[in-house]
Chains A and B, each alone.
Chain A
Amino acid sequence: MTPPVRIAQLSCGPDYSGVQQEINEAAAAVNGEIFFPDVALKDITRDFASFGLDVRSPDLKLAISRAKALVDGRVDADAVFIATCFRCAEAAIVRNELRRYIHEHSKLPVVSYSFTERTTAGTLLTRMEALTTIARRRALLARETQQGITLGLDSGSATTKAVVMKDNRIIGTGWQPTTEVMKSADEVITHALKEAGIKREEIQAVGTTGYGRFLVGKTIHADLIQEELTVNSKGAVYLADRQHGPATVIDIGGMDNKAISVMDGIPGTFTMGGICAVASGRFLEMTAKRLGVEITELGPLAMKGIGRRVPMNSYCIVFGTQSLVNALATGSTREDVAAAACHSVAEQVFEQQLQEVDIKEPVIMVGGTSLIEGLVFAMGELLKVKIVVPPYSQYIGAVGSALLASGFIKDD
């Protein structure tokens, strides 16, 4: 067995919130091992002074010193996990600054998280898996072209997607809402194979990603079962043809959102989550339903409206929906409401998540929601950049999986 990935923990509060055990378990599940960089009191005093962020909490001073020990190379690590209490302003400042500092001054992958006493190993698992993958499987992630015939499957919370790729081209796709995980997977695979004119046995390697990746991956004997943070980053820069240099990948999903700061196709820092469904594709789905249009029509509708005319900036899907109903009841046009809904989702993602990654162009939006042009437009306005939506962006996870899976084709 390969030795575990050494994950340095910089934190304040998890042991007093009762969640250190959960952090350890999430790390262990992906062959990671949490450790605390060793520093002495004199290091803490010196590092705290030289870092220059004058916080009061001693454990945050300790976290700063441990971060400096990693960056200075006094302590070796493969990856960094930064965790502080949710709702602590002082810790949030430190968490952000340390993440930025480590990202800018070292090659260590970093993930930061703010926990509550309800945080579980399950919540942390995808993040830890991405962290260990980036640390351990750089060779796998270095792949830039797809070879042979491969199948990629993305079993997402809202939709299931499949693509068949051959010689660096997408030749078949399948897409449908997720109902029963395996049934949906079977159907999209069948569709993709049919479109590609390929038989199942001709497939040389298979990759799975998304929430259902383990179940589907096991059942269809996937060669690669991989979380969606690294897969989507890879897929995004591949489809957008921006495999070298920096990029920012934004994926507003059905259940959670990902914002990933990428360098040469490999995630550096990322955030995942979203406090409430109002900042996700779900809210747009609800909006479309309320407006009586297909989700595919919501984007064009929004482009005709002016979002500013409708107040909608709630942090909660219930209140968000209420704003929507109120606006319609008081005579707002459907176009304006559609635009306001798109702007509201973009704003929530911007406020809650994009503050935690460094936005570097190109900004690539992927996932099903990237097809809602009103949302892409709203995000572009907020970030003041032109957003890239690559072809096949809704198949991002499946494409990333098919691309990476070709590394597993056996030479006969």
Chain B
Amino acid sequence: MAKVFIYPATSLILTDMVTRFGHTPLSSAVAIRERIQTAGLESVPLQITPEEPKKGLRWAAVEVPSGVRGRMALYGPMIEECEAAIIINDADMAFGCMGCARTNELIKFLIRQKEIPILDLTYPKDETEGVTFVAAIKRFLSELEVKQ
């Protein structure tokens, strides 16, 4: 089982596909779950405290907006941990954890810096594209197994 970073990290489709085909998706929900299940200082709604943007300095400099650095505190460790990635390149309607375009640009860049298998896709627009999309994911994930 490989740890696969999914982009958008909030994706229902990618979470399901990666799990369905036998791997572990690294998603926003897991990072948020970690925070809301850890005792500390109260910071609604996500239990992201003002300390998180400071942790984010590891991935983005201080002149980068706090929202980017706070999000990077979620994604940075996952990017470092992942062994493969699937990126949907036209994910323009993923909000919240994926709601900041600047963070999203940085996430994609950092993934591409890693020497890991990456599958680039766009959302399917019809049934035919749907088949191509799912087949590509299935093939990509089965090849990960072979490599491992």
Report A's interface with B, CB cutoff 8 A.
Answer: 12-21, 24, 41, 44-45, 55-62, 84-88, 90-91, 115-118
Contact = CB atoms under 8 A, between A and B. Distances in A.
A18 B65 contact: no
A61 to B, nearest CB: 8
B101 A58 contact: yes
B106 to A, nearest CB: 13
Contacts, number: 103
Contacts of B69: 17, 117
B39 interface: no
A59 B101 CA distance: 9
Given A13-B100, A57-B102, A58-B101, 5 more contacts: A12-B67, A12-B99, A58-B99, A84-B67, A90-B101
Contacts of A19: 50, 66
B100 A59 contact: yes
A17 B98 contact: no
A16 B71 contact: yes
19 contacts: A16-B48, A16-B66, A16-B70, A16-B100, A18-B53, A20-B43, A41-B93, A44-B93, A58-B98, A58-B101, A59-B95, A59-B96, A59-B100, A84-B67, A85-B65, A85-B68, A90-B102, A91-B65, A116-B66
Contact of A57 (B54, B63, B101): B101
B92 interface: yes
A62 B100 CA distance: 11
B65 A87 contact: yes
A117 B66 contact: yes
Given A58-B92, A58-B94, A87-B64, A15 B100 contact: no
In the complex, which of the residues A18, A41, A90 has the most CB atoms of chain B within 10 Å of its own CB atom? A18
Given A57-B99, A57-B100, A88-B102, A15 B53 contact: no
Contacts of A16: 46, 48, 52-53, 66-67, 70-71, 74, 97, 100
A21 B100 CA distance: 20
A200 to B, nearest CB: 45
B24 interface: no
A87 B50 contact: no
B98 A85 contact: no
A185 to B, nearest CB: 35
